[in-house]
Amino acid sequence: MSKIRVIKDKCTGCGLCIKACPVDAIKLIDKKAVIDLDKCTLCKACLQSCKFDAIQIKTLEKKVKDFSNYKGVWVFAENSEGVISPVVFELLNKARQLADDLDTEVAAILLGEDIEPKAEELIQRGADKVYLVESKDLKHYISENYTAKIVELIKKYKPQILLAGATTTGRSLVSRVAVNCYTGLTADCTGLEIDKEKKILVQTRPAFGGNIMAQIISPDFRPQMATVRHKVMPEAQPDSLRKGEIIRENFDSKNIDKRIKFLDFIKEDVSTVNLAEADIIVSGGRGLGGPENFKIIEELAKSLDAAVGSSRACVDAGWIPYSHQVGQTGRTVCPKIYIACGISGQIQHLVGMQSSDLIIAINKDPEAPIFKIADYGIVGDLFKVIPLFAKQLKELLNR
C-alpha cells in the first residue's frame, strides 16, 4: 500500500504535474498542487515530472496475515428434494485434488430435512467430513437462512477454500456468504489449481466475452471462494469402502429470517430431458427465423431422446425460455453429441458448449465461426438438411 502527498513548501505551482497526470487527479489551489486521492492511481507520472521534489510517494509495509489456522477444502452440497446436485460430485473430485496439494482434508456442508443418508453418499464420493445440519426449517432452500448457518460454520471451523456450483442456488448463496465473511469470490470458474509455492487457490474463468481466460487469486482473505460451472470437471466416482466422519450441527431459530416464507416452487413444464444432464443436445439459433420454427428442433430432439438448447439471441427474442440457453450467460454443457442448427457460433455461445465430445454444425454460411470448432459441418439450408440428417442419424444410432 502507498500514500502520495504534496510537500507544499517545495511546490511552486508550476503545473508540470497537472500536464503529466493521465487521470486528471491534480489541480492548482492557491498556487499549490492538490491531489484528488479518489482519482489518483499512483502511476508516478507526477513524481517523474516534478523538478522541485515536491511530490512524495511513501510505500507502507504490508501487514502479513496469519492463515495457519485455516484448513480444509469445503464443498457446498446443494440438493433438491433429497437429491444431491451432480455438480457437487464434480466439485468433490476437484476438491480432492486441491486438498492433496495442500495436504489437508475435504469436507462437505449438507443442509436439509431428513437428509442424513446423503452424507454417506458424499463420503463415498470423496468427502473426509460432512457437516450435517438437519431441520424442518431447512427443507426448502431460503438463501438468508442457509447463509446464516454456513457463515456460522465457517467462523467456527475456518476452511481454507469453499466451493459451490455456479447454479441458481449456488450463485445466490455464496455471494451472500462471501459478503458476510468479508472475503473474495470468483464466479463461473472453469478451472481450479493450487499454486504450490504460495499455497493459494488459482481460479480460472472466462473474461471479456470469453476472449481471454483470467486467473484470479485471493491471497489476503479466507476462505478463498469460487463457484464452478457444471460439466467442466469430471465427477468423483463412488467408493463404497470409503469411510468418513459426520459432524452434526444444530440449526438455531435465530438463523431464520422471519421476513421470508417459502410458499411454493413451480417447476417449468418441459417435454424434453434436462439440458445439463443430456447426452445429446440439439440447439437452435437465429437462423431458425422465428419461434414457430423451433418445432423442427424439438422434433429432432425428440427422435434422438435429446434436450433442446438455444443461443442467447433466441432467448432474448422471446422464442424459447431462458432455461434452454447455452453459453456464457446460460448453461455450460458437455454432452456426447451437440448439434448446432442455425447458430453462427459467437464466442459467448462457444464457451458454453465447446467441451462437448462431438460437435455437429448446420449453417448456410460457410464462414460461420461454429465450423472452426465443429467435428462435422454441414453447409446448407437447415430446413432441408435437418429432416434428412435426422433420418440418417437415427438409423446410425439404432445400429
Concatenated DSSP letters of 288-354: G-SGGGHHHHHHHHHHTT-EEEE-HHHHHTTSS-GGGBBSTTSB----SEEEEES----HHHHHHHT
How much of the chain is helix, strand and coil, in % rounded to 5?
A: 30, 25, 45
**Dihedral Cα 259, 165, 242, 82, nearest 10 deg:** 40
Confidence at residue 229, expressed as pLDDT on a 0 to 100 scale: 84
Topology (CATH level 3) of domain 280-397: Rossmann fold (3.40.50)
Confidence at residue 270, expressed as pLDDT on a 0 to 100 scale: 52
Q: Residue 103 burial (CB < 10 Å; 0-12/13-18/19+)?
A: exposed
Q: Which CATH superfamily is domain 73-255 in?
A: HUPs (3.40.50.620)
Confidence at residue 62, expressed as pLDDT on a 0 to 100 scale: 63
Nearest of 347, 339, 352 to residue 386 by alpha carbon = 339
Confidence at residue 272, expressed as pLDDT on a 0 to 100 scale: 47
Nearest of 308, 306, 302 to residue 283 by alpha carbon = 308
**Dihedral sign, Cα of residue 248, residue 254, residue 260, residue 262:** positive
Nearest of 284, 297, 389, 387 to residue 342 by alpha carbon = 284
Q: Residue 211 burial (CB < 10 Å; 0-12/13-18/19+)?
A: exposed
Q: What is the amino acid identity at position 107?
A: A
H helices of the chain, where? Answer: 16-20, 45-49, 86-102, 117-124, 143-157, 168-181, 294-303, 312-316, 347-353, 382-397
CA distances from 283 to 209, 254, 273, 325 (A): 20, 47, 13, 9
Residue written as grid cell 467430513: 129
Q: Angle at CA 11, nearest 5°, toward 8 and 12?
A: 135
- CA–CA separation, 194 and 100 (whole Å): 10
Cell of 229: 460451472
- CA–CA separation, 353 and 336 (whole Å): 11
Nearest of 276, 266, 275, 314 to residue 294 by alpha carbon = 314
8-state DSSP, 60: P
- CA–CA separation, 326 and 188 (whole Å): 14
Residue written as grid cell 440447439: 283
8-state DSSP, 53: -
Confidence at residue 332, expressed as pLDDT on a 0 to 100 scale: 81
Q: What is the amino acid identity at position 218?
A: S
List residues bridging with 216 in a β-sheet. 203
Q: Angle at CA 238, nearest 5°, toward 233 and 242?
A: 125
Per-residue pLDDT of the chain (399 residues; tens, 9 = 90+): 568 889 999 999 998 999 999 999 999 998 899 999 888 888 888 988 999 999 998 876 666 678 889 999 999 999 988 889 989 999 999 999 999 999 999 999 999 988 989 999 999 999 999 999 988 888 888 889 999 999 999 999 999 999 999 888 899 999 999 999 999 999 988 889 999 888 999 998 877 666 678 889 988 899 999 999 887 888 889 888 999 999 999 988 877 877 888 887 776 655 445 777 788 899 999 999 988 989 999 888 888 888 899 999 999 988 998 889 998 778 888 888 999 999 998 888 888 888 888 999 999 999 999 999 999 999 988 898 888 877 777 677 666
Confidence at residue 355, expressed as pLDDT on a 0 to 100 scale: 80
Residue written as grid cell 452424507: 119
Confidence at residue 41, expressed as pLDDT on a 0 to 100 scale: 87
Domain ranges in the chain are 2-59, 73-255, 280-397
**Dihedral Cα 250, 103, 177, 262, nearest 10 deg:** -50
Do 280-397 and 73-255 have the same topology in CATH? Answer: yes
Residues near 355 by Cβ (< 8 Å), separated by ≥ 6?
231, 232, 334
Confidence at residue 396, expressed as pLDDT on a 0 to 100 scale: 72
Confidence at residue 141, expressed as pLDDT on a 0 to 100 scale: 86
Architecture of domain 2-59: 2-Layer Sandwich (3.30)
Confidence at residue 66, expressed as pLDDT on a 0 to 100 scale: 80
